[in-house]
Amino acid sequence: SHYYNNGYIKARVSEPEITYGKEEVEVHEETYWMDDESEPEITYKKEEGLIITIKIDEGPQYGIRKVSIEGDLIKEIDELYQVVKITKEKVYNREVIRSDTLALSGIYADEGYALVDVSPEIKEDDKEHKVDITYRISRGKKVRFERILITGNDRTRDKVIRRELKVIEGGYFSGKKLKRSSQNLHRLGFFEAVEVNTKKGSSDEEMILAIDIKERPTGVFSLGIGYSSVEKA
């Protein structure tokens, strides 16, 4: 991932070659140059007699030329660009693109589009060593919470849990509100664990929210802040 996060889209790493011998092997450090298309070798001496060699063809480094957002836009384009960080990068970075994809998905999820699809399309210019990146968005349908199922609360009443939730049955999906709901339940201090998950409902436009809790032993009270992962949060 080091190479793909530093502009080397076409980097190729060979399988390790293992040889045995008694020679002392010097370990060479890599040096990265924009126009260097050589094939450096990294050699590690694990122990005397064991030599592991990995051949790396990093290829040319690709810079960023153009970044676009296309498809189903539910916000002003400038607002969407605010969460896109690849525009601040000089070279291609796969990890930043992945982060941008999640950030754009989050905006749509908070508006009820729980099944939004954000696909980054990469167009390479092998002559100029530049890439054009297009985030193509298909928002899908808005999704409502068909039911909220609560399990694991042997002593705690449902209404105590429901009043901490920021989402309601019949309301639209929101990743941000789900995260806040989970945080609220943790803050109560009644539970050892809180798991918040979503399941497919009776139609493509409905979803079931499943909340599974583990209550603390009687007499134990604790204040804590945290949350479990929530889809599209």
- Please report the pLDDT score of residue 199 as a whole number: 93
- What is the pLDDT of the chain when averaged over all its residues? 85
Dist. CA 227–CA 179, nearest whole Å: 7
| Residue in this structure with the two tokens 């599209």, named with its chain if needed | 232
Dist. CA 48–CA 69, nearest whole Å: 54
Dist. CA 121–CA 204, nearest whole Å: 26
Residue 179: both structure tokens together: 């995260």
pTM: 0.74
Residue 4: both structure tokens together: 């793909």
Does position 23 have pLDDT exceeding 80, yes or no?
no
Sketch out the chain's domains with CATH numbers.
12-57 (no CATH), 63-138 (3.10.20.310), 144-215 (3.10.20.310)
Distance in angstroms between the alpha carbons of the first and the last residue of the chain: 25
pLDDT tens digit string along 81-91? Answer: 999 999 999 99
DSSP for 163-227, please give it.
TT-S--TTSBP-HHHHHHHHHHHHHTS-EEEEEEEEEE-SSTTEEEEEEEEEEPPTT--------
Local confidence band at 16 (pLDDT 50, 70, 90 cut-offs): confident
pLDDT tens digit string along 205-218? Answer: 999 999 999 988 86
Local confidence band at 36 (pLDDT 50, 70, 90 cut-offs): low
| Residue in this structure with the two tokens 């930043």, named with its chain if needed | 96
Dist. CA 186–CA 213, nearest whole Å: 10
- Please report the pLDDT score of residue 44 as a whole number: 55
Does position 43 have pLDDT exceeding 90, yes or no?
no
Task: Assess contact for 195 and 228: CB atoms under 8 A.
Answer: yes
Task: Assess contact for 43 and 51: CB atoms under 8 A.
Answer: yes
